[in-house]
Amino acid sequence: MKNIILSLVIAILLTSCGIFDNDDNKLQEGVLQPFAVGNWWEYEIQRFSDPDTVREVVSEQVEVTVGDETFISFAWNSEIDWGDFPEYNWLARNGDQGLYLMGGVAETDTLFINALQYKYPAEVGETWEVPQVSFSRIDYQFYISDTLTITLIDNNRQIETPSGKFSCFVYYFRVSMGYDVLGYFGYYLYYKPGIGLIAQEEWGEHPSGNPDQNQLLSKLVLIDYHLVR
């Protein structure tokens, strides 16, 4: 997955929400993204260039202490060759209100937070804020770069992928293209409760605000997955 997607916490991962679900993987009801060491999701990345693939893997369980509370969280990241760049992992957990961002761990730095990232269950139209966590390629440290405003725009969106047909919750947020650039990058994340992230779209949003002038820049589509039982 592209670094910008990871750094946006996205990032980074429910009851059943439809009748088009696969039966080969039993759903873990009640969570948006099922976490267990060994879980993985493989995606095709569709951009202007030839498609590529990436696998997101849950690698370990981590105790995260924030204030006086300790939470069991899970570390995950892309299964890629990091080269000379320090390896880092995002931390997340499922809680009583949905999917929580818990920060990140790296060879060079650690950041612990406890922020509701994707609310579940939620009503269509609900909006909330979450810190935007990034990892610096200069200082090799985690930092909070901004605040994202996330909105649930649909709770029954039908989507077909190489891994099957799903009915999904769709979350939306956008980020500025830059302090000296008009327009935004808009992100749509499609989650199937009990399976996880099914697809993600990145759009270039036109400064005019006319959606007909927006341009699809990249897409992430689930092609295979494995959930530990």
Q: Rounded distance, CA 70 to CA 218, Å?
A: 37
Q: pLDDT tens, 15-73? A: 223 323 333 334 456 899 999 999 999 999 998 777 899 999 999 999 999 999 999 99
Q: Rounded distance, CA 126 to CA 122, Å?
A: 7
The pLDDT assigned to 174 comes to 95
The pLDDT assigned to 29 comes to 60
The domain tally of the chain equals 1
Q: Rounded distance, CA 72 to CA 128, Å?
A: 24
Q: 65, 93, 60: which is closest to 76 by C-alpha?
A: 60
Domain membership of residue 18 as a residue range:
3-80+87-226
Q: pLDDT tens, 90-148? A: 999 999 999 999 999 999 999 999 999 999 999 999 999 999 999 998 999 999 999 99
Task: Write the CB contacts of 72 (distance below 8 Å, at least 6 apart in sequence).
Answer: 61, 62, 63, 64, 93
Give the HSE-up count for residue 79: Cα atoms under 13 Å, Cβ half-sphere: 13
Per-residue b or e along 122-144, where b marks 16 or more CB atoms closer than 10 Å to that residue's CB: beeeeebebbbbbbeeeeebbee
CATH of residue 35's domain is 2.40.360
pTM as predicted: 0.86
Q: Rounded distance, CA 159 to CA 170, Å?
A: 11
